[in-house]
Copies of this chain bind each other. A is one copy, B any other.
Amino acid sequence: MDAERRLRSRGYRLTPQRRAVLEALAGEGGRPLDTSQIHKRVSREFPGIGLATVYRTLELLVELGIALPVHLHEGSRHYELNTGEHRHHLVCLSCGEVQPFRGCDPGELAERVRDESDFLVTSHCLSLFGICGSCRSPGRGR
């Protein structure tokens, strides 16, 4: 895991707690998780881990670019591993499923902004809401 190098090179340690948080983020198909979900998952393998540690670890992983915050507008902040690929999320309003959306081109977006404003975009945040395929297919829904 490359995360260890990135931690070490900045003087941080890859503790068992941090490793467990990384594993939680990697598992479960990469669905973005919030702090309490991660805390629950990690507690299975690592009973006694403090919630504050989970918060601190996620903050650190984001700072190091290992994880990314995801805004699903579900009340709490979610996180996922940074795959390096630019992506956003599709949130099904019916079943809650979250799937990635890769069709955003940041350069094109920044250009589009510059076309209409004197503004240099350095980052953005996009969330998409709607109904997923299985909720629309007849006989399924929910």
Contacts and interface: CB of A to CB of B under 8 A. Distances in A.
Contact of A122 (B101, B112, B126, B131): B131
A40 interface: no
Contacts of A110: 130
A1 interface: no
A33 to B, nearest CB: 19
A18 B65 CA distance: 44
Interface string A106-131: 00011011011111111111111111
A119 B99 contact: yes
B130 A116 contact: no
B125 A121 contact: no
Contacts of A120: 130-132, 136
A48 interface: no
Contact of A103 (B103, B112, B128, B130): B112
A115 B130 contact: no
Q: Which 3 A-B pairs have the closest CB atoms?
A: A118-B133, A121-B130, A122-B130
